[in-house]
Amino acid sequence: MHGDDPAAIGRRIQDLSERREKLGLPRMQFGVAAYSIVRNTEQEVKKELDRITNVQGSAAGYKNYQQWLAGTQLENQVSLQDYSVSNRGLRSGLTGTPAQVADRIAAFEAVGVDLFLLQCSPQLEEMERFSEAVIQVLA
Facing residues of 32 across strands?
A: 116
Q: Write down the pLDDT at residue 56.
A: 65
- Residue pair 69/138 in contact by the 8 Å Cβ criterion: no
Q: Write down the pLDDT at residue 49.
A: 87
- Measured CA to CA, the distance from residue 44 to residue 119 in angstroms comes to 18
| DSSP conformational letter for 133 | I
User: What does the pLDDT average to over 89-101?
Assistant: 91
Q: Under DSSP, is residue 56 helix (H, G, I), strand (E, B) or coil?
A: coil
Q: Write down the pLDDT at residue 78.
A: 45
Q: For the beta carbon of residue 16, count every other beta carbon within 10 angstroms.
A: 16
Q: Write down the pLDDT at residue 90.
A: 87
> Tens of pLDDT along 36-93?
999 999 999 999 988 887 766 555 555 665 566 666 655 544 455 554 455 567 889 9
User: What does the pLDDT average to over 107-116?
Assistant: 97
pTM of full prediction above 0.75 = yes
Q: Is the pLDDT score of 2 beyond 90?
A: no
Distances (CA, A) of 10 to 27, 68, 87: 14, 29, 17
Q: Tell me the one-letter amino acid at 118.
A: L
- Measured CA to CA, the distance from residue 114 to residue 135 in angstroms comes to 15
Domain ranges for the chain:
6-52+88-138
In the structure, what pLDDT confidence band is assigned to residue 115 with cuts at 50, 70 and 90? very high
> Tens of pLDDT along 7-46?
999 999 999 999 999 999 999 999 999 999 999 999 999 9
Q: For the beta carbon of residue 5, count every other beta carbon within 10 angstroms.
A: 14
Nearest to 30 by CA among 76, 92, 99: 92
Ramachandran category for residue 133: left, alpha or beta (phi over 0 → left; psi -120 to 50 → alpha)? alpha
User: What does the pLDDT average to over 107-128?
Assistant: 94
- Residue pair 9/108 in contact by the 8 Å Cβ criterion: yes
Q: Write down the pLDDT at residue 51.
A: 84
